[in-house]
C-alpha cells in the first residue's frame, strides 16, 4: 500500500458521564439526554454499556477544523439537553464521587452475555475514553501501522490523563482509567503483528478462550475497527476540552502517516516487548506529563515533556502538511501552562477541599475551547 498523497480522514468518539448537578454523583439518566439531543445530532449520539454513559461521534473528515466544530457541536448539544432536564454531563475518565460502582448496565442480551462472561469486571465500567479513528481500508496495513504506534501509547496516555479520582478519593494516579481498563483479558496494548494470519490466529485464540463476546469486545488500545475501514486508537481518557481531543486526533494521524511511509519502505514496526509497554503504561498512568516516561526508542526514563517535545519536532513536517501544526503546538503550550486534565481536576479539588467543585468545574468546561 503506497503512502497517502493527502491526509487520511479521521473521526472521533467521546464518552461522558451523566451526574446530578447538586451532589456530583453519577445518575442513570443517559437516555433522557440522548432522546433530547437526537433531533439535532441524529446517529452522532447514543448510549453505551451503562445507563450512566453518553457517547458522541463525529463524521469522517480530513479537516481538524471541521472535526473540532463537530466535537463542540455535540458537546454543546448534550450539555443543553442535560441542563434542560436538570442534569449535568462531565468529561472525565472516571467517576469523581462515590456511588458509580457497580454501574447500572444497559439492558440487552449482548450486555447480559458480557456480564456473564466478565463478571465483576463489569463493576468498574463507569469509565470514559476518547477513540480516534484513522481511515486505513487495508487491514494488514493497519496492523503494521499499529506496530509503529504501540511504543507511543504511553505518551498518549500521559498527554490525555484525566482520571485521578475514583469513587470519592484521589488515587494518586493521573489516569486511573488506564489502570482499571488493563485488567481485562482483551484490553491494553495490542500484540506486535507479523502478518494478517498472525492477527486472525490471535483473535481465534481469544475467542476459543472465551475472552471475547463478539468482535466489538476486542478492547486493545489499537485495533482495526470491527465496523469501519479504520484503525482505532483507544488509549486516551476523554479530555476535558474538545480542543484537546482534536489535538490528540491530529497527533495520531501524523503518527499514522509517518508509519505508512515507513511501511512502504519495508519497515513493519519495532517489536517493543509487551512487558516493557506495560511498565511504560504504568509510569504514564501514574504521573502523566508531570513525571518521567520510558523513552520509546531507548527505554530509558526521561522527563515526559522532553519526550513530547521530541515527538512533535519529529512530526512537524507532517503536521504542517496536514494543516495541524498550529492546533497541536497551541494546545500543548496551554497544557504546559495549565496541566493535563488530571492536574486541573486536582486544582479544582483543592479550592475548597470538596469533590463537588471538581464535578462543577468539569460540567462548566464541557464546551470550553482551550485547556
Specify the pLDDT at position 321.
Answer: 96
Please tell me the distance from the alpha carbon of residue 285 to that of residue 279, in angstroms, as a whole number.
10
Instruction: Judge whether residue 309 has pLDDT over 90.
Output: yes
C-alpha cell at 366: 464541557
Bridge-partner residues for 105, per DSSP?
50
> Phi and psi dihedrals of 165, rounded to 5?
-105, 150
Quickly tell me which residue has 480516534 as its cell.
Answer: 132
Q: Which residues, 6 or more positions from 154, have their beta carbon under 8 angstroms from its beta carbon?
A: 277, 280, 281, 283, 284, 293, 294, 296
Contact 168, 314 (CB under 8 A): no
Mean pLDDT on 273-289: 97
For the chain, report the end-to-end CA distance as a whole number of angstroms.
38
How does residue 6 score in pLDDT terms, banded at 50, 70 and 90? confident
pTM of the predicted model as reported, rounded to 2 decimal places:
0.97
3-state SS class at 13:
strand
Mean pLDDT of 76-100: 98
Distance CA 207, CA 210 (A): 5
Taking the C-alpha atoms of residue 31 and residue 113, their distance in angstroms, rounded to an integer, is 22
43 has pLDDT over 90: yes
Mean pLDDT (whole number) for 227-252: 97
Separation between Cα atoms, residue 109 and residue 229, nearest integer Å: 27
DSSP strand E in the chain: where? Answer: 10-19, 45-46, 53-57, 88-90, 129-135, 165-166, 169-170, 187-188, 219-220, 222-224, 230-237, 292-294, 301-303
CB–CB of 75/57 below 8 Å? no
Which of helix, strand or coil describes residue 26? strand
What is the rounded CA–CA span in Å between residue 55 and residue 47?
A: 6
Average pLDDT over residues 52-58: 98
2, pLDDT greater than 60: no
The stretch 122-146 carries a mean pLDDT of 97
Alpha carbon 193 to its chain centroid, in Å, reads 22
pLDDT band at 352 (very low <50, low <70, confident <90, very high): confident
Continuous segment of H or E residues that includes residue 84: helix 64-84
Mean pLDDT within 296-323: 97
Say if strands 53-57 and 169-170 run parallel, antiparallel, or are unpaired.
unpaired
Cα gap 99→46, rounded to integer Å: 23
> Rounded to the nearest 5 degrees, what angle is found at the Cα of 179, between the Cα atoms of 190 and 67?
65
Instruction: Please state, rounded to an integer, the average pLDDT across all residues of the chain.
Output: 96
Res 1 pLDDT > 70: no
Asked if 284 and 175 touch (Cβ cutoff 8 Å), the reply is: yes
Q: What is the mean pLDDT of residues 167-196?
A: 96
With cell 450486555, the residue in question is 111
The pLDDT value given to residue 4: 64
How many Å is the Cα radius of gyration of the chain?
19
CATH of range 10-364; options 3.20.20.70, 3.30.590.20, 3.40.50.2300, 3.40.50.300: 3.30.590.20
Q: Write the DSSP symbol of residue 126.
A: -
The average pLDDT across 63-85 equals 98
Instruction: Using alpha carbons, select from 17, 287, 248 the residue that is nearest to residue 133.
Output: 248
CB 59 within 8 A of CB 47: no
pLDDT of amino acid 5: 63
Cell of 217: 469486545
Determine what percent of the chain is predicted with pLDDT higher than 70: 99
Residues in the chain: 371
Q: Assess contact for 242 and 75: CB atoms under 8 A.
A: yes
Give dist(CA 280, CA 274) in Å, integer. Answer: 10
Residue 353 clears pLDDT 90, i.e. is over it: no
Amino acid at each position: 500500500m503506497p503512502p497517502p498523497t493527502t491526509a487520511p480522514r479521521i473521526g472521533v468518539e467521546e464518552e461522558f458521564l451523566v451526574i446530578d448537578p447538586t451532589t456530583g454523583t453519577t445518575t442513570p439518566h443517559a437516555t433522557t439526554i440522548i432522546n433530547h439531543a437526537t433531533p439535532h445530532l441524529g446517529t452522532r449520539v447514543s448510549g453505551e454499556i451503562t445507563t450512566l454513559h453518553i457517547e458522541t461521534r463525529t463524521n469522517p473528515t480530513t479537516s481538524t477544523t471541521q472535526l473540532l466544530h463537530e466535537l463542540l457541536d455535540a458537546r454543546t448539544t448534550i450539555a443543553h439537553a442535560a441542563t434542560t432536564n436538570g442534569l449535568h454531563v462531565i468529561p472525565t475518565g472516571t467517576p469523581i464521587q462515590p456511588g458509580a460502582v457497580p454501574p447500572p448496565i444497559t439492558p440487552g442480551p449482548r450486555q447480559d452475555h458480557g456480564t456473564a462472561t466478565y463478571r465483576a469486571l463489569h463493576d468498574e465500567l463507569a469509565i470514559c475514553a476518547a477513540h480516534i479513528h484513522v481511515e486505513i481500508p487495508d487491514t494488514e496495513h493497519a496492523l503494521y501501522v499499529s506496530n509503529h504506534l504501540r511504543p507511543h501509547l504511553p505518551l498518549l496516555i500521559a498527554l490525555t490523563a484525566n482520571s485521578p479520582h475514583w469513587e470519592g478519593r484521589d488515587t494518586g494516579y493521573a489516569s486511573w482509567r488506564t489502570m482499571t481498563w488493563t485488567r481485562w483479558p482483551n484490553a491494553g496494548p495490542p500484540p506486535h503483528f507479523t502478518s494478517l494470519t498472525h492477527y486472525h490466529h490471535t483473535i481465534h485464540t481469544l475467542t476459543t478462550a472465551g475472552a471475547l463476546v463478539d468482535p466489538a469486545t476486542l478492547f486493545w488500545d489499537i485495533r482495526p475497527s470491527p465496523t469501519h475501514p479504520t484503525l482505532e486508537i483507544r488509549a486516551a481518557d476523554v479530555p476535558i476540552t474538545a480542543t484537546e481531543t482534536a489535538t490528540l486526533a491530529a497527533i495520531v494521524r501524523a503518527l499514522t502517516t509517518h508509519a505508512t511511509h515507513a511501511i512502504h519502505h519495508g519497515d513493519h514496526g519495532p517489536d517493543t516487548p509487551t512487558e516493557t509497554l506495560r511498565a511504560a503504561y504504568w509510569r504514564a498512568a501514574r504521573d502523566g506529563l508531570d513525571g518521567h516516561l520510558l523513552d520509546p526508542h531507548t527505554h530509558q526514563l526521561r522527563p515526559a515533556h522532553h519526550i513530547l517535545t521530541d515527538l512533535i519536532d519529529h512530526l512537524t513536517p507532517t503536521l504542517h502538511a496536514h494543516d495541524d501544526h498550529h492546533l497541536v503546538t497551541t494546545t500543548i503550550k496551554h497544557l504546559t501552562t495549565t496541566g493535563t486534565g488530571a492536574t486541573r481536576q486536582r486544582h479544582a479539588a483543592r479550592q475548597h477541599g470538596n469533590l463537588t467543585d471538581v464535578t462543577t468545574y468539569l460540567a462548566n468546561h464541557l464546551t470550553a475551547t482551550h485547556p
